[in-house]
Amino acid sequence: MSTKLPLVVCVDDDEAMLSTVVRCLKREQVEIRSTLSASEALGWIAADEVAVLISDYEMPEMTGAQLAGHARRVRPETVRILLTGKRTLETAIDGINQGEIFRFIAKPFDMDELRTAVLAAVQRHDELVEMTGDRQRRERRLALRTSLEIEYPGISEVQRAATGIYEVAIPWERAAQIGFTAFTSALERDD
């Protein structure tokens, strides 16, 4: 059984720079897609689980910060890295405000710095996906508990009696109606 490699999308309107980024990451354990079009990259992000987006800041169609902002809204767990030759506070603020950028990497970039940033971004993506799953499980559990409590008031209030038997805080007649008699007697046999 093969495991799916994390998907890294690279976007730059400069074909030579895009090729350099792809070459830099080729030996890493990631799947790489590259494009000269920010719209195409956004389509990939919407369609597939993209772990990392690496984007140039200055592009004709939209800035890298705008692309990162759209990516964040479409798929929040995609980690965003911005490459920029424009080293200004304004660029940094734009990237942070619009796209919640994980890392800024100045052009020309150091290959090791880019590889390290991408691997850290993949790890962060995994953490974000895990947190999203935890949040979804908590939300489902709360919805189930709320639904059960509406249908069977008191069912989620379980107490341990002095005898060591766990008791559901609903009237005995109601518990019998929903089949808790067998449950109670099974608990009593275990003690």
Label residue 42 by pLDDT band (50, 70, 90). Answer: very high
Which has the closest alpha carbon to 169: 186, 185, 152? 152
Q: Is pTM beyond 0.85 here? A: no
Which has the closest alpha carbon to 104: 88, 85, 134, 82? 82
- CATH 3.40.50.2300 domain position(s) in the chain: 7-136
Label residue 157 by pLDDT band (50, 70, 90). Answer: low
CATH assignment of 7-136, among 3.40.980.10, 3.40.50.2300, 3.40.50.920, 3.40.50.300? 3.40.50.2300
Greater confidence (137 vs 15) lies with 15
In this structure, are residues 83 and 59 in contact, taking their beta carbons and an 8 Å threshold? Answer: no
Q: Two tokens at 99?
A: 């796209």
DSSP 5: P
Q: What are 102-114's pLDDT values in tens digits?
A: 998 988 899 999 9
Greater confidence (38 vs 164) lies with 38
Extract the runs of DSSP E, i.e. beta strands, from 18-122. 31-35, 50-56, 79-84, 103-106
Please give the pLDDT value at position 92. 62
